Chains A and B, each alone.
Chain A
């Protein structure tokens, strides 16, 4: 229902009201804290649990991954592609480990599914590229965090 508000004659004249408004904008301009984050110098503080760029955790220079195929199975975006192989000591390892970041939805299910604590999502959020590259194993083996 439309209710007509009662206004005083002063506010009907608008001059005083406009002056009040001008005071508010001036107060904001002079004293209010500015919310801008000046990006390359200042950065937004993200949560520790932020899910960013992937990496494969390695111990003593050898990846933890055993190519068990749990992460490509659980991946809802189907962006992980693994080809398994055998090391001379009969241990299974991924010959190919590729993540198509353009398909990835950063849900973190691969991280949850991994029994060997191998695939990880780091805190890095600057992932812009000029080409549609698929991240290969060498790229993913760079240790990008210590989660």
Chain B
């Protein structure tokens, strides 16, 4: 590894960490404005342009609030829990590629992905399921029945939906025969169907529509977002697992949730929407520019990062959009959906994919 590559890697890590840190306040603003607009209100629009500095004000408030630890909690685990849920939420984003690579010559390759691990998507799944420990810990250490109920709900929900999530992923892994996210994203650049001038790319959603639906639903359940936000069902169990938390510790729990959303969006974009493959007008513009040499590479990567960002932002918005459209599930309905619908459907999806691959359709 040359010095330039090391500096590039450190810069990448720093930038992505900054993005992940700022994701939570910005998404909080998007969520509040989005909710307000969908409910025919205006939402926070006073501070700064369009109310954008509202989240900064919220952040300042969180930092300056008294950091109180209630007397009845188990102190060590109570303090540890937000960190345990925050760290996995940062780690999972490491394997998601947000651009292809640049060959500098002489065997030097710049990868726009923090860690191109051999286990790829399996790493994300493994680390993401660590996040549930933070939630269980926070609920249990709080020594409060509502927090306890919330964390119990969360753990059973996450375990139930991890099954269908993993099984729906197997379909994608079979089609692209790789678990490395970089390979999966690169493979989605091929053309699936040529309809006159329109080329349908080999995106995951066109090959695995059922798998996409199951995976998306599971991601909603895994990130505890509505319609599956029973762990924090405020009408039944006050605020669920973060009931006893205040000030920055509460903000960290929220941050972990929003980071999980970002990782979920990144996975959805990478696995089913072509990852960094360029979106419709950008690819045509790039081939029109007819650049060469180093500039061509950097422009290509810039376009790819732009496309990936648009896809991820769409899914982030989709999380908010669904939240303010669908009502919350009842707990037994959630479990029914997970075990009686999602699990059999993902097995059916797996079977269909296997048959289609063995007959050479895809």
Distance in angstroms between the alpha carbons of A146 and B324 in the assembled complex:
47
Complex contact B41–A36 (CB within 8 A): yes
* Bound Cα distance A29, B31 (Å): 13
Measured between beta carbons, the chain A residues less than 8 angstroms from B321 are: 22, 25-26
Residues on the B chain within 8 Å of A38, using CB: 42
Residue contact B38 to A29, C-beta cutoff 8 Å: yes
A-B contact pairs, 27 of them (CB 8 A): A15-B213, A18-B322, A18-B325, A18-B326, A21-B325, A22-B321, A22-B322, A22-B325, A24-B325, A25-B38, A25-B321, A25-B324, A25-B325, A26-B38, A28-B37, A28-B39, A28-B40, A29-B34, A29-B37, A29-B38, A33-B40, A34-B40, A35-B40, A35-B41, A36-B36, A36-B42, A38-B42
Choose one: A21, A26, A32, A34; the contact of B326 (CB below 8 Å).
A21
A35 (CB) vs chain B CBs: closest residue: B40
Q: Tally of A-B residue pairs with Cβ under 8 A?
A: 35
Residues of A near B326 (CB, < 8 A) are 18, 21
Residue in B closest to A22 when the chains form the complex, CB atoms = B325
* Across-interface contacts of A22 in B (CB, < 8 A): 321-322, 325
- Select from chain B the residue with minimum beta-carbon distance to A33: B40
A residues less than 8 Å from B324 (CB atoms): 25
Main secondary structure of the interface of A (DSSP, over half): helix
Interface flags for B323-335 (1: CB within 8 Å of A; 0: not) read 0111000000000
Interface code B33-57, partner A: CB below 8 Å = 1, 0 otherwise?
0101111111000000000000000
Q: Please measure, in the bound complex, the distance between the C-alpha atom of A26 and the C-alpha atom of B41, giving whole angstroms.
A: 13
Cα distance A38–B44 in the bound complex, in angstroms? 11
Contact check, B325 vs A32: say whether CB atoms are below 8 A apart: no
B interface with A by C-beta (< 8 Å): 34, 36-42, 213, 321-322, 324-326
A20 to B36: give the CA distance in the assembly, Å.
20
Query: Quick one: closest A residue to B46, CB to CB?
Result: A38
Cβ contacts under 8 Å, A28 to chain B = 37-40
The 3 lowest CB-CB distance pairs between A and B, nearest first, are A36-B42, A29-B37, A25-B325
Closest chain B residue, CB of each to CB of A23 = B325
Contacts of B41 in A (CB 8 A): 34-36
Rounded to whole Å, the gap between the CB of B325 and the closest CB of chain A is 5
Nearest residue (CB) in A for B322 is A22
Q: How many angstroms between the C-alpha atoms of A28 and B35 in the bound complex?
A: 11
Within the assembled complex, what's the spacing in Å between the Cα atoms of A33 and B324? Answer: 18
Which chain A residue lies CB-closest to B323? A25
Chain A nearest Cβ from B42, distance in angstroms: 4
Contact in complex: B38, A34 (CB < 8 Å): no
Interface string of A100-114 (1 = CB under 8 A from B): 000000000000000
A12 CB to nearest B CB, Å: 11
Q: How far is the CA of A58 from the CA of B322 in the complex (A)?
A: 61
Additional A-B contacts beyond A34-B40, A38-B42 (15; CB < 8 A): A15-B213, A18-B322, A22-B321, A22-B322, A22-B325, A24-B325, A25-B38, A25-B321, A25-B324, A26-B321, A29-B34, A33-B40, A34-B41, A35-B40, A36-B42
